[in-house]
């Protein structure tokens, strides 16, 4: 199976449509609901601020190198069971449809957001376009453990 590549949040929304049309969604680590909740949480933090930040020197060095590598190659890989540091625990109960609805709503909020975005906890300051691509890659990486 080839690696899922999502270039932006519009492509991510189209992929969510495909998943929503399936009746049997299976996952490896987290439930589909939890995956979508985590991805929505990450997007929301770009607007409200991440609960914890890595040191600025780390963001300006390793963080910048990592995000530019991901953006250049068009995909990313990360620990799929790692929560956002400092964030509240994800809810464990919920349906795939509820998770997709939450993620769609958060994506639409992000797309309409016109205020300054908050720095990513590891990558530091990102433009809206960079965040858009990062969020799509982040979701695609999580979808690697979803069978639909």
Annotated domain spans of the chain: 26-147
pLDDT in tens, 70-101: 999 999 999 999 999 999 999 988 999 999 99
Answer yes or no: pTM beyond 0.85: yes
Which contacts qualify for 77-80: CB closer than 8 Å, 24 or more apart?
Answer: 77/141, 78/138, 78/141, 80/28, 80/29, 80/30, 80/141, 80/142, 80/144, 80/145
Q: Let me know the angle formed at the C-alpha of 12 by 95 and 126, rounded to the nearest 5 degrees.
A: 115
How far apart are the C-alpha atoms of 98 and 31, rounded to whole Å?
12
User: How many CB atoms within 10 Å of residue 137?
Assistant: 25
Which pLDDT does position 17 carry in this prediction?
Answer: 95
Which pLDDT does position 23 carry in this prediction?
Answer: 82
Ranges of residues in the chain whose predicted pLDDT is under 70: 1-2
How far apart are the C-alpha atoms of 131 and 54, rounded to whole Å?
17
> What is the DSSP-derived secondary structure letter of residue 64?
H
């Amino acid at each position: 199976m080839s690696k899922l590549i999502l270039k932006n949040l519009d492509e991510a929304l189209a992929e969510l449509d495909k998943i929503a049309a399936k009746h049997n969604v299976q996952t490896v680590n987290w439930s589909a609901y939890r995956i979508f909740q985590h991805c929505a949480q990450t997007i929301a933090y770009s607007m409200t601020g991440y609960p914890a930040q890595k040191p600025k020197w780390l963001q300006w060095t390793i963080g910048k190198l990592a995000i530019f590598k991901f953006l250049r190659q068009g995909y990313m890989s990360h620990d799929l069971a790692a929560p956002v540091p400092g964030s509240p625990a994800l809810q464990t109960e919920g349906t795939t449809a509820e998770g997709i609805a939450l993620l769609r709503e958060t994506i639409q909020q992000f797309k309409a957001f016109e205020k300054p975005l908050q720095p990513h906890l590891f990558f530091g300051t990102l433009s809206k376009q960079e965040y858009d691509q990062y969020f799509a890659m982040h979701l695609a990486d999580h979808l690697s453990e979803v069978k639909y």
